[in-house]
Chains A and B, each alone.
Chain A
């Protein structure tokens, strides 16, 4: 079983889980109004840390993560130096503020930040960065679960964080997505989200069932699915979120669920979309809540923070009230409440959705609740699949616009894309052409890897928010999330499959295939479009993609 060994959160409401829980029970919120900030002309409401002093040799982002990891691991026997201990970092923009003063700095890249953090904490294996926009914190749990099940590591240490400064806040302002008041999830008067800062750490291990205590938290299932609809707007039918839910709810007794902890960003479209997905998945009688009214949207930390708070809530027999909610403002009836409620149930579902059309869902239970939650028993351990090659395609340093004109030509959205998306789009088109499709094949998952991620576009966006010329461009900002390329490919092809983006320090097929094979343990996936897409600048780029078929289960590779 995939069990939580330890968990830790640090937020503006408190330096550990106990302090946060006390604040939450008392109904406190970390959201404050910020104005008169020279670098951000418009006022905004956010949850931010007061202490902004970095450790020597580290940025603010790295400092928060290093401190939280040290505190989380201090009371455990986790051997950080073991090659079997994997560090997974979940962040959307990491050290992005470094670009303000030094556009050429490598330290702004997430794999570099992850390596700096790993060095200080003492991890020796190469970190894995999950950069899947706002679902990163749940997507990180899903890949950690799979890698543990695959036997790739013994312990997965996941940390999530983001710093809310000029870059992210101006971007969401340009999207008109920020509320001028503390946010109001699912409320009729909701006006948008608030940005938030937090650090969250969760340590997972794969432990034989008989060593797991009845009160231990077990990660039972997880899924990531794309809307295949739009790169910034969620599906109007909740398609991806619904499919992720459907995948994790097979044979689940929903009466054993204490609550669904929704994304609940308080943007008009997100909350409406979630109401549809939750209802379509048959969860309309399960209480629904959201924590954004206490903490804002903590981006890379959100999935971990909100999962840990949900575990704590169940441990304390409580369904936390949705702060800011008053009058239902979604088109379907959900069991929402501003007040805390008691519960005796010991399992929950956590949902997240994000730019790039991605959605994630995980199913958590205390071990003692599993028989009631899964009356037919747990499914057999998934095998580690072997992957057969259908086609490969690579390209580098050529004119993408010419390739588009000569080989594709029917998708003017191409011109709106940033270099990373153009690269991934063209390479995927040509790969699929080589695979000689009949049109009947199952849709593949899209799992891509990169080092520079969205760097080209990050620099272009940074140029729109200069102090003397502040006109943040929403069309550029949206591409500052590296996973958008996976969304563009899903949208082009209409694929409601898993879409994931991981950042690594270098192209390494062994490493990429170990992640892809683990991800393909998802029983619903039969094919995967995977590989390397890297565009550190507009003239220097490389795509190296493979279309693979899950061939058969090879249980000999499977180590418990």
Chain B
């Protein structure tokens, strides 16, 4: 799980072009949206694509993302339970 979280942080930084951030700057339980990293609706869609591309998880309803993208910790939990690759 720890390795997955680390991997996920690097993938998020790369996919969302968070150039000034390093993986260690993202806390496992810090909110990704709103105050956290200041991500927006396009970033949420990009995270949906990230999950599909890297973990084979398809979210057809973007509203489902809200709960899953709360934090890296929550996201990692969801991925480990639902990944198909």
Contacts and interface: CB of A to CB of B under 8 A. Distances in A.
Partners in one complex: yes
A412 B19 contact: yes
A535 to B, nearest CB: 17
A415 B17 contact: yes
A296 to B, nearest CB: 21
Contacts of A233: 41
A473 interface: yes
A442 B42 CA distance: 31
Interface stretch (B23-31, B44-52, B70-78): B44-52
A478 B49 CA distance: 14
Contacts of B20: 412, 415
A474 B19 contact: no
B49 A473 contact: yes
B4 interface: no
A474 B46 contact: yes
B83 interface: no
B53 A471 contact: yes
B49 to A, nearest CB: 6
A232 B44 CA distance: 13
Contacts of A478: 42
Nearest to B52: A471
Interface residues of B, number: 19
Interface string B54-67: 00000001100000
A246 interface: no
A232 B16 contact: no
A416 B16 CA distance: 7
A475 B41 contact: no
Nearest to A478: B42
Interface in A222-256: 230-233
B49 A232 contact: no
Interface string A175-191: 11000000000000000
A396 interface: no
Contacts of B46: 473-475
A233 B45 CA distance: 12
Contact of A175 (B17, B18, B43, B45): B45
Contacts of A231: 42
Contacts of A472: 49
Contact of B42 (A412, A415, A471, A474): A474
Contact of A474 (B45, B53, B61): B45
Interface size class on chain A is: 10 to 19
Interface string A447-486: 0000000000000000000000001111100100000000
A173 B13 CA distance: 23
A192 to B, nearest CB: 11
Given A174-B45, A233-B41, A475 B16 contact: yes
B49 A471 contact: yes
A230 B40 contact: yes
Interface string A391-433: 0000000000000000000001001100000000000000000
Nearest to B63: A176
A475 B18 CA distance: 13
A100 to B, nearest CB: 20
Contacts of B16: 416, 475
A415 B18 contact: yes
Nearest to B59: A176
A236 to B, nearest CB: 12
Nearest to B48: A176
A329 to B, nearest CB: 16
Contacts of A230: 40-41
Contacts of A474: 42, 45-46, 49
B45 A475 contact: yes
A473 B46 CA distance: 6
Contacts of A416: 16-17
B56 to A, nearest CB: 11
B20 to A, nearest CB: 6
A471 B47 CA distance: 12
B21 to A, nearest CB: 9
Nearest to A416: B17
Contacts of A473: 46, 49
A75 to B, nearest CB: 46
Which of A174, A176, A232 has the most B CB atoms < 10 Å from its CB? Answer: A176
Contacts of A415: 17-20
A4 B48 CA distance: 47
A414 to B, nearest CB: 9
A426 B44 CA distance: 26
Contacts of B42: 231-232, 474-475, 478
A182 B45 CA distance: 23
18 contacts: A176-B45, A176-B48, A176-B61, A176-B62, A230-B40, A230-B41, A232-B41, A412-B19, A415-B19, A415-B20, A416-B16, A471-B53, A474-B45, A475-B15, A475-B17, A475-B42, A475-B43, A475-B46
Interface of B: 15-20, 38, 40-43, 45-46, 48-49, 52-53, 61-62
Given A412-B19, A472-B49, 9 more contacts: A230-B40, A232-B42, A233-B41, A412-B18, A416-B16, A474-B45, A475-B17, A475-B45, A478-B42
User: Nearest 4 CB-CB pairs, A to B?
Assistant: A474-B45, A415-B19, A415-B17, A471-B53
